[in-house]
Copies of this chain bind each other. A is one copy, B any other.
Amino acid sequence: MHFEQDASSKSYLARLNDFMISHVQPVEAECMQALAEQDHADFKSWQQLPQITALQQQARDAGLWNLFLPDAELGQGLTTLQYAPLAERMGRSLIAPEIFNCNAPDTGNMEVLYHFGSDQQKQRWLAPLLAGDIRSVFCMTEPDVASSDATNMAATIEEDGDHVLVNGRKWWSTGLGHPHAKFAIVMGVSRPQADKHQRHSMVIVPLDVAGVEIERMLPAFNSFDPPYGHGEVNFNQVRVPRGNVIGDLGAGFAIAQGRLGPGRIHHCMRALGAAEYALQLLIERAASRQAFGQPLLKLGGNAERIAEHRMAIDQARLYTLSAADKIDRLGVKHAMSEISGIKVVVPNVLQRVVDDAIQIYGGAGMSNDVPLAALWTTARALRIADGPDEVHKAMVTRTELKKYRQGDKS
C-alpha cells in the first residue's frame, strides 16, 4: 500500500499544470464570456471557440493529447489511476477537458470504439475522434421513462436485413448541439424477450441520416452548455447498416458497463478539481473581505467549514483513486460498489463546497462574475447525470447484502 503517484503520472501532471497556467488560464475568462453569449443564442449558431481550436493544436503538439486513453500509441499509455490526477487538474477549468481531447461524451465513445469497435468502425469513427476532428454524442436516457432502470428503455434497434432500424426518443444527449458532431452511439432494445442483460444493442448513427430529428437543446438549470449542449432527439425509422452495430446485437448492456468505469473516474476527478478550485476561491474571499471588523473567515462557522471541506475532499479523492486502482488491477466488475459509491460521494462534496463558497461571495456568487454559479449547476446536474444518487446507493447496498449473505464477516 502506497499513497504517492508514480513518476510518470507526476511528470505528466507537472507538464499539464504548466500548460494550464501558461496557455489556458490567460484566455479562460474571455472564453467563458464568449460561451455565455452563445448560451443565449439559437443552438444552430453555436461555434467551437477559435481559442479552443488553437489550444487543442498546442496540446497535441505538447504531447498532452488523449491522456485518458490507456493505449500507448493512440493515447499516452496512462492507466486509469495514473490519469486520475490529470483529470482532477483539468477539472479546475470548465474549458480544459476539450482542449486535451479528454471531454465527455467523446472519451466514453472513444473507449467504446477502442474496446468493442470493428476495424472499420475504428477507422471511420474512432480515428477522427482521436484526432479531434469530429465530435460525437451518446444517446441513452429517454424522456418518458425512469431511465435509471435500463429495463424501462423503450427505443428499439431492430434487424432489417443487412440494416438495423432505430426508433425512439432520447434526451440529455450530450454533444448533440456541437457543430462538429457527426454521429451518435445510440442504445436501444433489440431482443425484448432475452435476459435483461442481453436485450440491448449499441449502434453508430450518423447524424445526417434520414429520420434523425434534433428537436431542441435542453437547459440544465438555465444553461445550455454550448457548444456541446444536451439535446432531445427523435429517431424516426432511422436505417443504418448492420455494420454500425457495436460488438453485436444484444451486447449493449455489457458495453455500457465497461464504458462507465473509467468514465466515472474521470467525471469524479474533474469534480474534485472543481471542488479544490471552489475551496480556493472560498478561502481567498473569506480571508480578504471584511465585515463587522473582521475578515469573513473569522465569522460564525466559516473557518470550521474550510476544515470540513478539506476532510471531505481528501476522503473523496482517496475513494476515487482506490476505485481507479481497482478498475486497473481487477477490472470494472470487481469495482462496482466503489464506482457507484464515488458517483454519490463526489458530486455531493462538490455541491457542498460550492454552496458554502457562494455564501461567502454573496451576490457575486450567484452572478457569472465568478465561476461559482457555473460550478453550482454543474455539481447539481452531476447528481442526476449518469444515474441519480439514489440508484447508486442501491447498488452499494446490494453489494453489502451479497457480501453478508456469503458470510464474509471477519
Q: Do B301 and A301 touch across chains, with their CB atoms under 8 A apart?
A: yes
Contact string, A322-344, partner B, CB cutoff 8 A, digits 1/0? 10011001000000011001001
CB distance from A89 to the nearest CB of B (A): 8
Q: Do A221 and B345 touch across chains, with their CB atoms under 8 A apart?
A: no
Is the C-beta of A26 less than 8 angstroms from some C-beta in chain B?
no
Report B-chain residues with C-beta under 8 Å of the C-beta of A329. Answer: 4
Report the nearest B residue to A142, measured CB to CB.
B363
CA distance A300 to B304 in the complex (A): 5
CA distance A89 to B410 in the complex (A): 8
Copies in the complex: 4
A185-193, A233-241, A257-265, A310-318 - interface stretch? A310-318
Q: Do B394 and A366 touch across chains, with their CB atoms under 8 A apart?
A: no
Report the nearest B residue to A383, measured CB to CB.
B359
CA distance A333 to B151 in the complex (A): 42
Using a Cβ–Cβ cut-off of 8 Å, how many residues does chain A contribute to the interface with B?
A: 102
A-B pairs with beta carbons under 8 Å apart, 22 shown: A2-B2, A3-B321, A3-B326, A145-B290, A148-B291, A151-B292, A221-B221, A221-B376, A222-B373, A304-B393, A306-B396, A306-B401, A307-B341, A307-B392, A310-B397, A310-B399, A311-B319, A314-B322, A314-B338, A318-B322, A366-B381, A376-B380
With A291-B391, A307-B395 already in contact, 13 other A-B pairs whose C-beta atoms are closer than 8 Å: A1-B3, A3-B322, A17-B410, A171-B363, A221-B222, A283-B404, A307-B392, A310-B399, A310-B400, A314-B341, A315-B319, A358-B384, A359-B389
Write the residues of chain A forming the contact surface with B, with a CB cutoff of 8 angstroms.
1-6, 9, 17, 20-21, 39-41, 81, 89, 141, 143, 145-149, 151-152, 171-172, 218-223, 279-280, 283-284, 287, 289-292, 296-297, 299-308, 310-311, 314-316, 318-319, 321-322, 325-326, 329, 337-338, 341, 344-345, 358-359, 362-368, 373, 376-377, 380-381, 383-384, 388-397, 399-401, 404, 409-410
